[in-house]
Amino acid sequence: MASLANIIRQIAEPDADAARAAAERLDSLVKPLGSLGRLELLAIQLASIRGKAPLKFPSKEILVMAADHGVWQEGVTPSPQVVTAIQAVNIVQGKAGVSVLARNAGAQVTLVDCGILGPDIPGTLNHKVAQGTGNIATGPAMTREEAESLLVWSAERVIAKAESGLSLLAVGELGMANTTPAAAMVAVLTGAAPAQTVGLGANLPPERLAHKISVVEKAIAVNQPDASDALDVMAKVGGFELVGMAGAMIGAAAAGIPVVLDGFLSYASALAACQIAPALKPYLIPSHLSAEQGTTIALKALGLQPYFDLSLRLGEGSGAALALPLIDAACAIHNEMATLAECQITL
């Protein structure tokens, strides 16, 4: 297993020459300058990541990290804990929301079991760290060693997939009660109060929101995570799937491929990943503005603007799947539109 530092050192700066060439081509196309707005900026970002390679992404994967959480015991979600395992089966069988949207976008879905309660689930990529995390309201989610090992494993898995042809990664997650550790991470890493980062998650009754906020406040008070040490934050108040997503992001950047973020949970992981590996940020593509409270705080801290707002809050990578056709569209306008010169138009 490579060291985390060695993986981070592999992250290259995006290709500025490729970005300039893409911008010049977009300006030469048969359209008013800048008239395709952020789609053009997306094409330029993608070109800077691809460098000299053609601007296309034939092999896309949505990596869904799944785990259970000890903090579920605090009554922070109305969802039964067994739903994590049930929905994992649905994803593997192609029945879940992310499965349908990924098929529509031409992407493969891989579900990683990094801590689902119960026996191994056929069809998942099994890397079970433990039977769920510790209860962050009473102690740490995991040890620092577990967090770093999972971070590195996830990064190495993405690097290996890229070496086998993967050209674009999207991340998603699954785990009942996981908006609670995500809200704790965002609060610590941004300095925001838990009341600003804690939302209703999966249909928590509004009258229970104050309790959920108090659980996050207690988790931070009990564990005293170091805001300047993202690995410490993830180990103490995070979750296995949150660590797994952060590692996947770092691995994607190290492999030179873009990574599409999903929503609030992935933004929490991105905050940690970008603190650990600042060179990662140009590789991130934010998909949507999650309906979960705390999303805008996380995005502001990341300096990212999502591409759409459909009031989504499913998770699983569903928002990231919806962003994949936008990426294909950005490539298509760059690659296939005619130029002004070709159309014999002079301005």
pLDDT given for residue 106 in this prediction: 97
Helix boundaries (H) for the chain: 4-9, 16-28, 37-50, 83-92, 97-105, 144-163, 179-190, 194-197, 209-223, 230-237, 240-255, 264-276, 295-302, 318-336
Number of domains composing the chain: 2
Question: Cα(67)–Cα(84) distance, rounded to whole angstroms?
Answer: 7
Residue 31's CATH number: 1.10.1610.10
pLDDT given for residue 141 in this prediction: 98
* pLDDT averaged over 10-residue windows placed end to end, the chain, 347 residues: 91 98 98 97 98 97 98 97 98 98 98 98 97 98 98 98 98 98 98 98 94 98 98 98 98 98 98 98 97 95 98 95 98 97 88
Same structural domain for residues 175 and 264?
yes
pLDDT given for residue 1 in this prediction: 62
Same structural domain for residues 26 and 145?
no
**Structure letter (DSSP) for residue 262:** -
Question: Cα(65)–Cα(171) distance, rounded to whole angstroms?
Answer: 8
Same structural domain for residues 35 and 108?
no
Q: At 336, list the tokens.
A: 């296939």
pLDDT given for residue 116 in this prediction: 98
Catalytic residue among 61, 74, 148, 316: 316
Same structural domain for residues 82 and 36?
no
The residues near 260 (Cβ < 8 Å, ≥ 6 apart) are 168, 169, 170, 171, 285, 287, 320, 323, 324, 327
Residue 175's CATH number: 3.40.50.10210
Same structural domain for residues 94 and 79?
yes
Same structural domain for residues 34 and 65?
no
Same structural domain for residues 263 and 299?
yes
Q: DSSP assignment of 185-244, as one string?
A: HHHHHHT--HHHH---TTT--GGGHHHHHHHHHHHHHHH---TT-HHHHHHHH--HHHHH
Burial of 89 (0-12, 13-18, 19+ CB in 10 A): middle
Give the global pTM: 0.97
Strands of the sheet containing 60-67, edge to edge, are 125-126, 108-115, 60-67, 168-174, 259-261, 284-286
Please indicate whether residue 173 is annotated as part of the active site.
Answer: no
Question: Cα(202)–Cα(245) distance, rounded to whole angstroms?
Answer: 20
Q: Is 296 within 8 Å of 322 (Cβ atoms)? A: no
Same structural domain for residues 316 and 193?
yes
Same structural domain for residues 197 and 339?
no
Q: Is 275 helix (H, G, I), strand (E, B) or coil?
A: helix
Task: Return the residue matching tokens 């993405």.
Answer: 158
Burial of 79 (0-12, 13-18, 19+ CB in 10 A): middle
Whole-number Cα distances in Å, 320 to 15, 60, 102, 139? 24, 11, 9, 32
Task: Return the bridge partners of 192, or none.
Answer: none
pLDDT given for residue 80 in this prediction: 97
Domain that holds residue 136: 60-326
pLDDT given for residue 202 in this prediction: 84
Q: Is 306 within 8 Å of 287 (Cβ atoms)? A: yes
Q: Is 71 within 8 Å of 215 (Cβ atoms)? A: yes
Same structural domain for residues 37 and 167?
no
pLDDT given for residue 346 in this prediction: 82
Whole-number Cα distances in Å, 211 to 193, 217, 243? 15, 10, 25
Q: At 117, list the tokens.
A: 């309660």
Same structural domain for residues 113 and 19?
no
Same structural domain for residues 8 and 116?
no
